[in-house]
A = this chain, B = another copy of it.
Amino acid sequence: MPILDLVRDLFPMPRSITGAGLRRTLERIRRDIPLEIREVPSGTRVLDWEIPREWNIREGLIETLDGRTIVDFSASSLHVMSYSSPIDRIVSREELAAHVHTLPEQPDLIPYRKSYFGNDWAFCLPHTTWLAMHDEAYRVKIDSDFSLGALSYGELLIPGTESKEFVFSTHCCHPSLANDNLSGIAVATALAHTLLSRRSRLSYRFLFIPATFGSLAWLAQNESVLPKVQHGLVLSCVGDPGHFHYKRSRRGAASIDRAVARVLAERSGPFTILPFRPDGCDERQYCSPAYNLPFGCFMRSPNGTFSEYHTSADNLDFIQADALEESLATILDVVNLLEADVTYVRRDGRGEPHLGRHGLYRALTGQEGAGDTMQLAVQWVLNLADGHHTLLDMVEYSGLPYRQLMAAAKAAREVGLITVTD
């Protein structure tokens, strides 16, 4: 199941933080993984916020008075500002100018705009289009409505042998923008698909949510779940050709921060670790002071740093299948490392075990020296297995590749030299 298939199917749907386009998006994801779709009614108080009325739109047009269509929402869901109020009348060019968003420095692109709290309407169009509009008046029509509906989001819990959770969160409220964030949706879906076919230690929770409102709603309604959350990742913009960026959690040195940093460091190629900041994606909510959950944000090019960001150029040509696959593989490496990140203790920690007797060493040693680093990895595991070091601690202390220490710990555990402790 190529990751791009899902992106292509979702691209045209007119998403916003509520409404039919969002529901269709969640339903399409549910064809790949057994998502539960939740609805939070309009008007529900979630913390300091209130779930807005549901917004639906059927049509959005600017026409000349002689009936020529200049801008049409059906051509791009970016053409109408999200949460625009309905309108259907002739307006002067001057009045229209106050309701038009363009990008003068990227004149051929349509910008993406939203305004959830105003009572406004607006069109987004290429600056070149706007420059060519010289009539005194135009007919504008937005067939939208606000209703007491609901905010929808998708949730999937894959139970592991432990109730400790690793949560993946990805926003699904943006209209026809591919990297931001159909890429995150598609990689999360593929990851869930992979984990559904495995037996895991950790439980995995996937959240497909409208930005801000979705994470706030989930947090407010799941406070009893939060103590189980051991690791969290927000996935955003993971399909572009840029190199990996990881933004640390507010805690700064949580296991998720250390695991991602290690996996990226052991891959070839550049990457950037960013400090925590209180802006960005939904980590803003997960890392708010009273929750302070260990959520980092995994990205290729960060929001706002690429010229296609929040424009019609963030389309199916911008993202790459290779980039999506590499994002998935890298996150799976993080999953595998954190699956192994338990605390080990020697059954008897006095002295070195006689490795040969346990099948972990050669009987003959001599000038050939210290052995390869796999042998050293075994020694590190046996030395640090004191009930105070997790596998990540061992990786960082020893400086050896994490895969070697994972293999060494597995071997030492199989012959009974070490056990897992809490």
Contacts and interface: CB of A to CB of B under 8 A. Distances in A.
B304 A350 contact: no
Given A289-B385, A376-B277, A376-B279, A310 B48 contact: no
Interface residues of A, number: 62
Nearest to A387: B289
A212 to B, nearest CB: 8
Contact of A49 (B290, B351, B384): B351
Contact of A278 (B49, B285, B364, B383): B383
Contacts of A291: 349-351
A118 interface: yes
Interface stretch (A10-18, A27-35, A108-116, A256-264): A108-116
A219 B289 contact: no
Contact of A354 (B48, B115, B352): B48
Interface stretch (A138-146, A165-173, A227-235, A365-373): A365-373
Contacts of A204: none
Nearest to A219: B351
Contact of A364 (B113, B212, B220, B310): B113
Contacts of A203: none
Query: Which secondary structure characterizes the binding site on chain A?
Result: loop
A382 interface: yes
A23 interface: no
Given A279-B376, A289-B383, A382-B278, A112 B350 contact: no
A350 B219 contact: yes
A118 B364 contact: yes
Interface in A189-220: 212, 215-216, 219-220
A153 to B, nearest CB: 15
A269 interface: no
A311 interface: yes
A351 B285 contact: yes
A209 to B, nearest CB: 13
Interface string A335-378: 00000000000101111111011000001111101110000100
B346 A290 contact: yes
Contact of A48 (B111, B279, B288, B353): B353
Contacts of A363: 115-118
A53 to B, nearest CB: 15
A288 B352 contact: yes
B47 A380 contact: no
Given A111-B366, A113-B364, 9 more contacts: A47-B348, A117-B356, A118-B363, A118-B364, A277-B379, A284-B352, A290-B350, A310-B366, A311-B367
| Shortest 5 CB-CB contacts between residues of A and residues of B | A290-B349, A289-B386, A278-B383, A289-B349, A310-B367
